Structure 1
Amino acid sequence: MENPEVPLSQLHAFAVLAEELHFGRAAARLGIAQPPLSQQIRRLEEKVGHPLFARGPGRVELAPAGRELLPAARAALTGLADGLSAARAAGSGRTGHLRIGFAASLALTVLPGLLGRFRERYPDVRLDVREMTSAPQLTALRERDIDVGLLREPPADRAGLRFATVLTEPFVAVLPASHPLAARRSVPLGLLADSPFVLLPRAVGPELHDRITGLCAEAGFTPRVAQRAVEWPTVCAMVAAGMGVSLAPAGIRRMRCERVVFRRVEPASARTTVAMAWRGDESTPLVANFLTVVGRGAPPH
């Protein structure tokens, strides 16, 4: 064709007529009268410069130019349909790429269920799941390196971000099996005052660190930190080695730690908050869908 600017409506009319080989049936299928269909075909033939159909009494057949054009017309119409379908899927959040940061301890509790529910409902969304402590998650959100964060203890400085509580979880005391308090079913927090502590560095999770030290302050003491570890398995390993005790989210109990016991902490109000975080200036369908799944799937507080 000399002029590539061919309306898709003309290609559609041509493709339908090529299938029906009857102007009346093709017009009915297109939902138009026969004269407008004839006009569409004539205009397309003018652009091609050759007849697309051989017309005779009671018959319509594809001309050589029509047989050559038909595969390209069908491909163009299929490409448009596919493009529209893909655009609708992306616009509704049914496809795309969602980057999620998560606190390591959540892999032992809520994360598998949340991801499983989301994948079941949105199987065509590609998930990029990254293990990150809370402070790096907040930085990654603000720098647009991740789209959603699942973290512990939302920060006081929430500039540019929004948060939704997923659940609250009790703390447990992490004790060496040989510790004098290991024989108890629950441990009043104040009884840990004389024990050295193994804690996460404040820099990687300031809110969780401050929550733990704040609970200790409410119990009347400041924890004496003997060791620091970034990952909970390392914390448990140090506790197993007798280097101290710790406070950890209750989900840590699912880890297999030899020579370590986990005991309920008193008071029962010693709990940690798990929250979802996302950018306040960006409400994409992907994030909105994930928030909906998280909201529906979260355990009761």
Structure 2
Amino acid sequence: MERPELPLPQLHAFVVLAEELHFGHAAARLGIAQPPLSQQIRRLEDKVGHALFVRAPGGVALTPAGSELLPAARRMLDALADGLAAARAVGSGRAGRLRIGFSASVALTVLPGLLRTFHERRPGVQLDIREMTTAPQLGALHDRSIDIGLLREPPDDEPELGFRTVLSEHFVAALPSSHPLAAQRTVRLDQLAQDPFVLLPRAVGPTLYDQIMDLCTAAGFTPQPAQHAVEWQTVCALVEAGLGVSLAPASIRRIRLKGVAFRKIDPGTARTRVAVAWRANDPNPLVAQLLATLAEEAGR
């Protein structure tokens, strides 16, 4: 059965008249003259197929059909008002959902302060936080399954994405605490030439992987990966187990394992970047708001 279309202005006029039960009072409340109000009610009655009001002393009264329609009309108008309010909140960035991908090492740097500040300013926004390595974050940005990425060593060939460096930090050597070089405060890279390495797979962070390889090559050797691990926590655990050494961003020192010694690298000029990534021209206002918050956090 085809449902009749009920225009919202007619429903609004009907509800106001049902509450006032007087054409003059209802017209004044609506800010219109009585004839246009009568026309709105007549058109609505034509769609319903039955009278909604009858004349009564001093005004009008609802018919049984009008009494039946009134609760549904109020629900429709309330739902529209709620929908408009929600749309305005999302459009202004006071509400909505923001999906953020982050590399595990970023959780040791800018992520906690960023999320705390943003949540305090936008408590009505739902934050969907997803731990992902760099390559999956780039894919998720392209297929629109995340809105913001916080990743390490962004690529140079992603014209559809925007990138901004938010942190630059030194590399450190991660050594088993029993390693002979653990007794030193600083380690030269060439001193690790004979050690097996524990590295992230190139597929999950190709730029960072190549950077580590280039550092070792500049020191005169090619590192021999003995183990691979997707997360830095696991890399450190394998180092602690004595399965190799690693080169890691300095923030990884916050992963406190008794069996791992983190040592500065000589020379200490090499740095690794943490960047924020987003889709260019993304219409979601929350993206711009988070970028602004991140810029403030990075400036502190």
SS in 2 for 1:298: helix
Equivalent residue letter for 1:228: Q
3-state SS of 1:61 partner: strand
1:40-68 deviations in whole A, cap 9, x for unaligned?
Answer: 23333344344333334434333333212
The Cα shift of 1:256 comes to 2.6
Q: Distance in 1 between matches of 2:159 and 2:188?
A: 37
Deviation at 1:208, TM superposition (A): 0.7
Residue pair 2:202, 2:209 contacting (<8 A) in 1 also:
yes
Residue aligning to 2:168: 168
Q: Structure 1 245/299 Cα, relative in aligned 2: closer, same or farther at 3 Å?
A: farther
User: Which has the larger displacement, 24-33 or 191-200?
Assistant: 191-200
Q: Supply the distance in 2 between the matched residues of 1:21 and 1:100 (Cα, whole angstroms).
A: 53
1:239–1:7 distance in 2 versus 1, CA, 3 Å: closer
CA contact (8 A) 2:216 2:223 kept: no
Q: In the alignment, which residue of structure 1 is the partner of 2:228?
A: 229
The share of aligned pairs that are identical, in percent, is: 65
Indicate the residue corresponding to 1:14 in structure 2: 14
The aligned residue for residue 265 of structure 1 is 265
* 2:167 aligned counterpart, secondary structure: strand
Which deviates the most, 192-201 or 224-233?
Answer: 192-201
C-alpha distance in 2 between matches for 1:240 and 1:253: 13
Q: Supply the distance in 2 between the matched residues of 1:46 and 1:226 (Cα, whole angstroms).
A: 80
* TM-score, structure 2 as length reference: 0.83
Distance 1:108 1:132 in 2: 14
Q: Distance in 2 between matches of 1:75 and 1:65?
A: 16
- Partner residue, 1:183: 183
Deviation at 1:145, TM superposition (A): 4.1
Q: Partner residue of 1:100?
A: 100
**Letter of the structure 2 residue corresponding to residue 102 of structure 1:** F
Q: Could you list the runs of 5+ residues in structure 2 that have no partner in the other structure?
A: none
The residue type paired with residue 172 of structure 1 is V
Task: Return the letter of the residue paired with 1:13.
Answer: A
SS of the residue corresponding to residue 163 of structure 1 reads: strand
Distance 1:15 1:225 in 2: 78
State the AA in 2 paired with 1:272.
T
TM-score, normalised to structure 1's length? 0.83
What is the number of residues matched between the two proteins? 298
Residue 215 of structure 1 is matched in structure 2 by: 215
Cα distance, 1:28 vs structure 2: 2.5
The separation in 2 between residues aligned to 1:196 and 1:223, in whole angstroms, is 10
Corresponding residue number in structure 2 for 1:254? 254
- Map 1:72-221; keep pairs closer than 5 Å: 72-189=72-189, 191-193=191-193, 195-218=195-218, 220-221=219-220
Q: Let me know the Cα RMSD of the aligned residues.
A: 3.0
Are 1:167 and 1:299, in contact at CA under 8 Å, matched by a contact in 2? no
Mapped to 2, the partners of 1:137 and 1:47 lie a distance apart of 53
Task: Return the alpha-carbon distance in structure 1 between the equivalents of residues 45 and 144 of structure 2.
Answer: 51
Q: What is the rounded CA distance, in whole Å, between the counterparts of 1:43 and 1:234 in structure 2?
A: 71
Shift of 1:246: 1.8
* Higher mean displacement: 181-190 or 220-229: 181-190
Query: For 2:248, what is the secondary structure of its paired residue?
Result: strand
Answer yes or no: is the 8 Å Cα contact 1:199–1:225 preserved in 2. no
**CA drift at 1:72:** 1.5
Partner in structure 1 of residue 287 of structure 2: 287
CA distance in 2, matches of 1:205, 1:87: 38
SS in 2 for 1:101: strand
Q: Distance in 2 between matches of 1:3 and 1:154?
A: 54
Q: 1:248, 1:59 → 2: CA distance? A: 82
**1:248 aligned partner, one-letter code:** A
- Which 5+ residue runs of structure 1 have no aligned equivalent? none
CA distance in 2, matches of 1:76, 1:237: 58
* Secondary structure of the corresponding residue to residue 178 of structure 2: coil
Aligned partner letter, 2:261? V
Task: Check the 8 A contact 1:201/1:209 in 2, yes or no.
Answer: yes
Deviation at 1:198, TM superposition (A): 2.5
**Alpha-carbon displacement from aligned partner over 1:167-197 (angstroms, at most 9, x marks no partner):** 2222222122233433344445455455443
Residues 284, 25 of structure 1: CA spacing in aligned structure 2 closer, same or farther, 3 A cutoff? same
**Residue type at the aligned position of 1:243:** L
SS of 1:14's partner is: helix
